[in-house]
Amino acid sequence: MKKVLLIILAMGFGWSATAQTSVPRGRITQSSQSYQLESDLDESQTSAIAVQLEASLRLFQQYFDNETADWPFRVRIFANHSSYLAALSTFPAEFDLSNREDFLFLLNAKRPEMSVLFVYPRADEDAMRASLLKNGFLQYLFAVAPEMSSWLREGLALYFEIATLSEDGSGFAVRENHLYLDRLQLVRTDRALTLSELLSLDDEAFEDNLESALAHSWAVVNYLMNEHNATMRMIITRELTGRGNNHSELIGLTSDIEQYFSRPGFNLLMEQGRDAIAQEDYAGALELFTQASKVMPNLWSAYYYMGLVSFHLEDFDRALEFYNESLALGASEALINYALGMLAMEQEDYGLAQSYFDLAEEGDRARFGRHVAEQRRKMESMQELQ
């Protein structure tokens, strides 16, 4: 029962929130177009969170025919994680919220306008964004489509969780991303669900199979969003307008969706690619790393390895392109400088190679100092033979 109660909170229903009659000293209130915020932060910090909330709301509305709630969404912002946990400590112990890091949406089922989202400023910007998106979506959804099917509700929450904020902070966008495929494969080793089994789960059965149900729900939504977007929007509109949750379109896609259930994730592809390198199967490795880059296009490591195998295949122009792409996505400058040094050395441009090796050594002497010294000796030997 402890697990079920915690899941109910995590999924955003089952606890009644009540309004306070007055705002305590030192706490501010602020209103945006769609939100009413009560905050322990200053005006500027509170406004920044409100901007992200409004941006996330615009993202959700793109998929929900611009539906709006009949009331402002209530948000309680705590000063820090400690004060957030102090508030959660007032909940019964069986909820086990003592170390919770994710935000929490509390639904008042009888008076949904009094529902509230608990947040605090998370140090990690990505974690802050993901928590706002996922829990903010649940807050929005229970206002406009409270009867939505469990698989669709939770799958959409996880899908929106990976949206990225524009540089000016004006809006969110969801790029193709297969972040949870590895988790799905792990879950499916002993708790695999077919599509029909997933679609048949009611809220209680969903909670009883939570980990597997969440992973499969994300997979269905992610596949439809990327491969059959019109079908996905049709399903959302049907449930939004209360026209039932029997989606015959999905039955025709069962084979394709269940193939996606078995698609390898990023970590598995990277492991297989490194194994292929060890066996000197560079063409096979390139194919595996290319697949990995499509699963997680924002991670640098696949592009680095694509550069490495292109180097071994003596496709030096592509190797350079992949290394630069890897660097742009956040790879260590020392790592890329060392790789570029190896590339230049292979092309017998020893002066350029030396420059890159110097930069690699300066950037991370502990990691590359010995390797750079070894390559310098090799270059000296090569030059003596010329």
Identify the CATH number of the domain in which residue 335 sits: 1.25.40.10
Domain membership of residue 29 (yes or no) is yes
Confidence (pLDDT) at 8? 39
Based on the fold, state whether residues 210 and 329 are members of the same structural domain: no
Based on the fold, state whether residues 234 and 285 are members of the same structural domain: no
91, two tokens: 């909940």
Q: Which of 130, 146, 162 is the last residue of a domain?
A: 146
User: Residues of the chain with pLDDT > 70: what percent?
Assistant: 94
* Rounded Cα distance, 184 and 107, in Å: 28
Domain membership of residue 176 (yes or no) is no
Model pLDDT for residues 40-99, shown as the tens digit of each residue: 999 999 999 999 999 999 999 999 999 999 999 999 999 999 999 999 998 888 778 889
Q: Which residues partner with 172 through β-bridges?
A: 165
Question: Which residues form the domain of 353?
Answer: 266-385
Say which residue, 276 or 97, is predicted with more confidence: 276
Based on the fold, state whether residues 248 and 270 are members of the same structural domain: no
Mean pLDDT across 356-371? 95
Based on the fold, state whether residues 61 and 129 are members of the same structural domain: yes
Q: How many domains does the chain have?
A: 3
Q: Which of 218, 243, 261 is the last residue of a domain?
A: 261
Mean pLDDT across 205-211? 91
* Rounded Cα distance, 151 and 139, in Å: 16
Confidence (pLDDT) at 23? 66
Domain membership of residue 161 (yes or no) is no
The CATH number of the domain holding residue 88 is 3.40.30
Based on the fold, state whether residues 6 and 142 are members of the same structural domain: yes
Q: Which residues partner with 12 through β-bridges?
A: none
Based on the fold, state whether residues 90 and 207 are members of the same structural domain: no
Based on the fold, state whether residues 32 and 142 are members of the same structural domain: yes
Based on the fold, state whether residues 203 and 283 are members of the same structural domain: no
Based on the fold, state whether residues 109 and 222 are members of the same structural domain: no
Domain membership of residue 160 (yes or no) is no
Based on the fold, state whether residues 244 and 358 are members of the same structural domain: no
Based on the fold, state whether residues 117 and 103 are members of the same structural domain: yes
Domain membership of residue 164 (yes or no) is no
Based on the fold, state whether residues 127 and 73 are members of the same structural domain: yes
* Rounded Cα distance, 289 and 283, in Å: 10
Domain membership of residue 253 (yes or no) is yes
Secondary structure (H, E, C), the chain:
CHHHHHHHHHHCCCCCCCCCCCCCCCCEEEECCCEEEEECCCHHHHHHHHHHHHHHHHHHHHHCCCCCCCCCEEEEECCCHHHHHHHHCCCCHHHCCCCCCCCEEECCCCCHHHCEEEECCCCCHHHHHHHHHHHHHHHHHHHHCCCCCHHHHHHHHHHHHCCEECCCCCCEECCCCCCCHHHHHHHHHHHCCCHHHHHCCCHHHHHHCHHHHHHHHHHHHHHHHHHCHHHHHHHHHHHHCCCCCCCHHHHHCHHHHHHHHCCCCHHHHHHHHHHHHHCCCHHHHHHHHHHHHHHCCCCHHHHHHHHHHHHHCCCHHHHHHHHHHHHHCCCCHHHHHHHHHHHHHHCCCHHHHHHHHHHHHHHCHHHHHHHHHHHHHHHHHHHHHC
Model pLDDT for residues 285-336, shown as the tens digit of each residue: 999 999 999 888 889 999 999 999 999 999 999 999 999 999 999 999 999 9
User: How does the average pLDDT of the chain come out, rounded?
Assistant: 90
Domain membership of residue 68 (yes or no) is yes
Query: Taking the CA atoms of the chain, what radius of gyration do you get in angstroms?
Result: 25
Domain membership of residue 156 (yes or no) is no
User: Residues of the chain with pLDDT > 90: what percent?
Assistant: 78
Question: Are residues 52 and 132 in contact, defined by beta-carbon separation less than 8 angstroms?
Answer: yes
Say which residue, 247 or 25, is predicted with more confidence: 247
* Rounded Cα distance, 14 and 7, in Å: 10
Q: Which of 146, 163, 195 is the last residue of a domain?
A: 146
Question: Are residues 139 and 12 in contact, defined by beta-carbon separation less than 8 angstroms?
Answer: yes
From the list 199, 198, 174, the residue with the least C-alpha distance to 188 is 198
Q: Is the pLDDT of residue 123 over 80?
A: yes
Q: Residue 17's pLDDT band (boundaries 50, 70, 90)?
A: very low
